[in-house]
Amino acid sequence: MATESHTNYTAVWAWLLVLLFVSVGAVYLPFSGAITVAFIFLVAAVKAVMIAVYFMHLKDETQLIRALLWVPVAFFIIMTLALVPDIVVDRLGDDGAAGTHTSAH
């Protein structure tokens, strides 16, 4: 008989709730905006992995199903990195100096 894993969904939910409060509370930490946003995205990634592993039951799936998970993850990373040049150029402005970008209207 195969061993069955029993997940304590209440404990997982409690950890997700704690991580929610951590990400909300991160706004009040004395760090720069970029560091705070990066930290909040890191916490969100941890929460997404917890949801996928426990609530979507990926921990009990075969290696093929787990491998297929990396296709949308890779697509997300590629699409996010593709936006970086647009964000950097928009922030630097046309002449390359930070903070000189003005609105056209």
Q: What is the pLDDT of residues 46-95, one digit of tens each?
A: 999 999 888 888 888 888 888 888 898 899 889 888 987 887 776 666 55
Q: Which domain holds residue 15?
A: 1-60
Per DSSP, which regions of 1-105 are E strands?
none
Same domain, 17 and 55: yes
Structure tokens that stand for 30 in this block:
């004395």
Same domain, 42 and 22: yes
**Above 70 in pLDDT, residue 99?**
no
State the total domains in the chain.
2
Are 92 and 101 in contact by the 8 Å Cβ rule? The answer is yes
Structure tokens that stand for 10 in this block:
């209440």
Greatest CA span in the chain, whole angstroms? 70
DSSP class of residue 30 equals S
